[in-house]
Amino acid sequence: DAGVIQSPRHEVTEMGQEVTLRCKPISGHNSLFWYRQTMMRGLELLIYFNNNVPIDDSGMPEDRFSAKMPNASFSTLKIQPSEPRDSAVYFCASSLAGGTLTDTQYFGPGTRLTVL
């Protein structure tokens, strides 16, 4: 079975540019998570979707960040305009049912974003 798919794997852009990260969750999973990983802050949850609906976006840093999930098989995380401090690895994860203790989140390979 295919795992979580993310694209691109690497993105280098200049400050001020728009960046769009893409994610395809595991088929049949109804929960989707976007995380950011940095050396300083570790893994941070940015936003959580359940059945395509954003449930918790309290981790989104600021208005420059937005996320959508138009259908069960696709989600985007957009940064506009991008800043150097956005440089990080962005992970998408999916799970069968976000609201149970045993629910396991499966991560994609991540997108390494560098903003110059």
Partner 1 sequence: AQKITQTQPGMFVQEKEAVTLDCTYDTSDPSYGLFWYKQPSSGEMIFLIYQGSYDQQNATEGRYSLNFQKARKSANLVISASQLGDSAMYFCAMRVSGGSNYKLTFGKGTLLTVNP
| 108 is an interface residue for partner 1 by CB under 8 A | yes
Question: E strands along the chain, which residues?
Answer: 5-7, 10-13, 19-24, 31-38, 42-50, 53-56, 65-71, 74-79, 88-95, 106-107, 111-115
Closest distance between partner 1 and the C-beta of residue 9, in Å?
A: 9
Among 79, 98, 113, 115, binds partner 1 (CB under 8 A): 98
Return the number of other C-beta atoms located less than 10 Å from residue 72's C-beta: 17
Q: Looking at 11-19, 22-30, 66-74, 106-114, which segment touches partner 1 (CB under 8 A)?
A: 106-114
Closest distance between partner 1 and the C-beta of residue 56, in Å?
A: 7
Among 31, 75, 82, 94, binds partner 1 (CB under 8 A): 31
